[in-house]
């Protein structure tokens, strides 16, 4: 099924990002760096699919990738004004 293949590809990608950005940093800094990367470079549909995969059993996200995805989900669910400077 194409969608499961696509989801697996997104998981591989975010795990690779976590491996690249996670080295040499404390956990909180690594998670923030991964989340910023996703916010900056991933298209909204990619982010939404990744977040939707959090609820699935057996998701193969690495711990740092999972935390970053959870943070991303929380930030995307906030009203836009809450994330704007000076709000």
pLDDT tens digit sequence for 15-63: 999 999 999 999 999 999 999 999 999 999 999 999 998 877 677 999 9
**In which region does residue 43 sit, left (phi positive, over 0), alpha (psi from -120 to 50) or beta (all else)?**
beta
Closest CA to 13 of 58, 53, 56: 53
Residue recorded with tokens 């996703």: 38
pTM for the model stands at: 0.84
Query: CA-to-CA distance for 37 and 55, rounded, in angstroms?
Result: 22
**Hey, what's the torsion of the CAs at 51, 57, 59, 63, to 10 degrees?**
90
Other Cβ atoms less than 10 A from the Cβ of 71: the count is 17
């Amino acid at each position: 099924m194409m969608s499961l293949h696509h989801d697996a590809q997104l998981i591989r990608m975010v795990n690779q990002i976590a491996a690249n950005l996670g080295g040499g940093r404390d956990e909180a800094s690594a998670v923030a760096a991964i989340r910023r990367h996703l916010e900056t470079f991933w298209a909204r549909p990619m982010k939404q699919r990744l977040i939707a995969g959090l609820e699935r059993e057996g998701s193969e996200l690495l711990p740092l990738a999972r935390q970053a995805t959870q943070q991303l989900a929380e930030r995307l669910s906030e009203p836009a004004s809450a994330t704007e400077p000076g709000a």
